[in-house]
Each structure stands twice: as structure tokens, then as C-alpha cells.
Structure 1
């Protein structure tokens, strides 16, 4: 896709959102249902995924780990955003890979010690690019990718989350 193609694709949406800001507010949804053993099935929109315990918490490794899925969501969103931004600012990517790593201390999630937090301690996001962009263009690409990546922004600016229990 070329810069003018992505602009043409997004122009009517941008205009609509300027004129009718409420139309830009969309609620994305996800749903899961418990499965066999200690698993949970989630519909991804493309396929059913069975999530389960990570081997470090007693899982057998046959089910997807929700921690891995969080990192995969970041890698996917960052990759799509990088590609869209590169296209919009005229950087031709011959190839690009996104690598995401996250550090967990499983003592926290297993309740071994209260000193160990539950959740990722650090997440590292790395891009490997094959392109002819100069340093200034690359800095702009990284800055705009960071700014417009929904998952990255959600993880760095934590939204309010509520839990409810229905019977």
C-alpha cells in the first residue's frame, strides 16, 4: 500500500470523526468460557484459542498462555502500527520484525511471597527493520509508532478496569 492509498482509505473516517466525534467511540469485546481442566476458551475472531496455565505455574504447555497472548497482542499492534506509519510517512519497509519480551516472577502469581509482584516487571519491544530510511526518519517512525499503537499506549497509560460478578 502507498501513502496516498492509506490516506484515501482513512480520510473519510477522519472526516466523520471530526464531524461526529461520538462515532469514533467503539467498544471492542472479548469473551471466554472455562474449558476442561484449568483452561479457558476464547474466540479470537479468526479461531478458537484454548488458554491455560503456563508451565511455570503447573500447566502442561499445550494451551496458550494469556501472558504470551498479551505480548503477542503488543507485537501485533506495534507491527501493524509501524507498517501503517511507515506507509503514511513514505518509508518503504522491505522487511520488518517485531520482538517482544516480558519478565515475570511466578512466585507472585503462585502466592509464594507477597514481595513478588503479580504481572510483568518489564516488557521490551524491539523492531528490526530493512529499509533505506535515515536516522531522522527512523526516529520519527519510532515516535509515531509509540504514539499510535493502541496496545502500547494502553499498557503505558493503564485504564481504569472494573470487575463485577454476576450470578
Structure 2
């Protein structure tokens, strides 16, 4: 039996309509225990995750790149958010996904984070490549699904709009 996103979200939508402040959440991640003398690795724990993740420095920064880098995690966050949003929106629209594949790439000039000249720090561009086919819809339904999912993808919209980042030291 297929899970009904509409059925599960209905009480939440009613609650948020009556109390918009109830819709405001805080997502979290924190570093976890790891050898702080190792300049090329860290461990992070995301809220809700059962395990910590080992993160490595990119080989372009002199690191071993033997685990996902922070940039890889940013690409993974966008990839996961886009796919989950597509799945939920398809469910809400009564569309059955036959195949779904999402890939994310991001372009970075590493000179920026190495403090070399005027090269910018950060991703200069990201691409989300999506292949989706439906059991019960054609090109127009796929296009509508894609438009709606892109508009509702939290990570994608955050990256497009930018977000202030506040650094706090005790």
C-alpha cells in the first residue's frame, strides 16, 4: 500500500495554518568526537542521524579525500532534498514514479579557499540533473512535477536565494 503524503500532512497543514509559529523548526548538525590533531578529518553528527559521518579534506587542499568532503555533503544535501521533494510532490499529485535518478555537481575554484589572489571562495555554479519517468503521466505531468518540486525544495531554494550565516563564538 502506498503511503499518502496528503493524509500524513493534512493535520500538519491545519496546525500550521492555525499557528504559523508551529511550522518554524531548527535543523542541527554538530561535530562529534574525533582526533583534533588530524587536520584532514572531522566527524559530524546530523540531527536525526543514527551514526556520525567522517568528513575529509579535498585532495585539492592537500587532504586525502578518503571520505566525503564538505562540498560533497553540500551536493548530497541538494541531491537528497530534490529527490525527496520530487517523491512527495509526485505522491501529492497522484503521480507514480517509474524511474528517478538525481545527480548534483558543483563547480569550485579551490584557489579561493586557499587564499590565493582574488579567486572567489565557494561554489560558483551547481547543476541538478534529474531523470524521471512516470507510470501514469507524460511530458506535461513530468514538467509540472519538476516545476513544483524545484519551487518546494528547501535546500535548492536556500542555495538559490542565499542565506545569512552568523558565526558565534562563546
After TM superposition, give the deviation of residue 67 of structure 1 in Å: 0.2
Output the CA distance in 2 between the equivalents of 1:19 and 1:105: 46
2:71 matches 1:67: yes
2:24 matches 1:17: no
User: Who is 1:27 aligned against?
Assistant: 26
User: Who is 2:44 aligned against?
Assistant: 42
2:90 matches 1:86: yes
Gaps of 5+ in 1: none
2:117 matches 1:118: no
Normalising by structure 2, report the TM-score.
Answer: 0.90
2:146 matches 1:147: no
User: Who is 2:164 aligned against?
Assistant: 160
Gaps of 5+ in 2: none
Normalising by structure 1, report the TM-score.
Answer: 0.91
After TM superposition, give the deviation of residue 33 of structure 1 in Å: 4.4
Alpha-carbon deviations, 1:14-33, whole Å to 9, x = none?
Answer: 00001111111111111114
After TM superposition, give the deviation of residue 46 of structure 1 in Å: 2.5
Alignment match of 1:130 (pick from 129, 133, 136): 133
Q: Give the match's secondary structure for 1:144.
A: helix
Q: Give the match's secondary structure for 1:31.
A: strand
